[in-house]
Structure formats: structure tokens, C-alpha cells
Structure 1
Amino acid sequence: MTNRVDQPRPLDLVGNPIHVGGVATGFEATLEYRISDGHQQVTGTFAAGGGTGEHAQFHFTLDVGHTAFQADRLLVQVFEARARDGGEINAVTVPVVYGPHIVPGYYGYREHTVAKGETLSALAKSYYGNAALYPRIVRANPAQITDPDKIVPGQVLRIPIGS
């Protein structure tokens, strides 16, 4: 194992701040991070372990509220800068869904188990008071919903909640 990101997990629905944690090693115990939507990014460094070859847990919290992300999907990346030329090595990339772009004032989500006969429009009407807001549910569940006309009983959907 070189570097591992345990939090967030792939396609987690995250808010601000974003918590990143795992196990890593880097040259002189220094690693770098990048959180990006392909347009805007936040970068920085953090320490893990006592030096090259020593693995240790890491956790950091990153306030991205000031970043003008344009997309719902973000990439959380942790990597080492190669000592001889600064190139990126041992990179780990985790795609996540950014809740504040889906629901104003995002602070979390509810889980809803789909029952027979339910539709995304009906769920949006129930949770948001407006059936036309069903795309919020679709955007929050990219691994669950590939066709908004096809949800099935037993699916557990994340319903993003805001203020």
C-alpha cells in the first residue's frame, strides 16, 4: 500500500467543509491534495508519517465554501510530489458529489427506500414541495439513478437537505 483515501468514499455526497482521511506516506512525510471540478481547484500540503517509507493516518478538513466550483462532481486527489522533478506519483483520486451545488444551504441528506409505485417527481413533491425539483435527487445519486424514469423498489436514495 502506498496511499489510501478512506474518507470520502467514491461518489459520497459531501458538503462544506470536506473531510479527507486515510493512510499515506510521502517524501519527507509531505503529501499534497487537490480538490477540483475541472474548472476551479483548491490545493495544499499535509503531513503523514515520519518520513519516506513510513505510513501513517492522516485527516484534514478543508473549507471550500469560497471556491467557485461550477460542477456537482468534484475530484478529491491525494498524491506525492516526486523528489527529483516535482511530478505527481502515488496519486489517489476519489470522485464525490458536492451537495451545496444541488440544494441551497446543503447540510446533509436523508435516505429514502423506494416503495412500489413511487416516482422521483412524487419524492421531490414530498421532500421539497415541488415535483419539478426531482433532478436534485438524480444528481445526488449518480451510482443509483441512470435513468430518471426507472427507480425500483428497494433502492436506497439520498435526498439532499438544505436550509
Structure 2
Amino acid sequence: MVNSYKQSIILLGNKSDPLIKKMINLLMRDGKRSKAETVLNKTLQSLDSEYPGRAIHIFYLGIFAVRQDIGVRLKPKPKTRRNKRSFNVYLPRVISPICGLHLGMRSLLKASRDRSSISPLWENLSKELLKASQNDGEVIDKRYNLNKLAGSNKRRIHFGIRY
């Protein structure tokens, strides 16, 4: 038991790291910080059991793989005129790097929550992080589809950075 406690201290030893703090804040529900830290600890421990010494590296690779650079905003349909069809217009926008990291982390957590209700969240999160670090998985596919949609509609707008 002492060994696992030391291991969890080692894995989350740097709680002042901004990405780890943000992940804990996104995991936290109803102010239960210790439960969120436990979930992240178990996630990193399961990654460490499969890949010894590489858990933090996999965590960072997964986070940076899912960050978003471009977002798409849906412009409302114009008024329909006689004999003309109205259609949806997707307006691409450039997202700042910090906001893109946070959006990627949110999409990673959403995918792990939607993955399966049978297995615990920390197990799903470790699987999603591992797949994202290998440039595979549901979150990466969504990112590529979003980039393709933004690329096909890039003639509609000049890019501007949104903070």
C-alpha cells in the first residue's frame, strides 16, 4: 500500500504544472478536487503500469495531439427568398493556442465519459490518452473532420484570432 502511495505522489508530484491543474479542474465536479486528483492519479498509474516511466510523457503527447487550432462557427441561415434555397454557412476561425489546448482537453474528457459506462472513468481516460498520443482515436478523427470542414469553407472569411 505504501508503494502505491509513493507512486501516486511521484506521478502527480508537480501539481503546479498548468496542464495538470487544468485537467484536475476539468475533471472536478461540485468542488470535489480530491476525487478529481484521484481519478487523474489512477489514470496515470494505469498508464504507468502498462508503460513504466512513460505515463507523464503519454499524458503530454495526448494533450498536445488533441489541441485545436481552428474552430468552426455556424452562421444562421439567411432569409429564404423566392426560388432560392437557404443553406448553412460554416465560418472558420483561428483559436488561440491556450484556448485550443483547453478545448482539446474538454473533448478528450467528453470522449472518455461517452466511451463506456461499465468501466470507470480513469480507465477510459487512460485509453483515450494512449490512443491520442498515437494519433488515433475518436478525438483525433473529430479534429481532422473539423479541420477539413474549416478548410473547405476558408474562402468565406479572413482568419482572425479569437482570444
- TM norm structure 1: 0.25
Structure with the largest fraction of strand = 1
Bigger RCO of structures 1 and 2 (CA < 8 A, at least 6 apart): 2
TM-score (norm 2): 0.25
By percentage of residues, which structure has more helix? 2
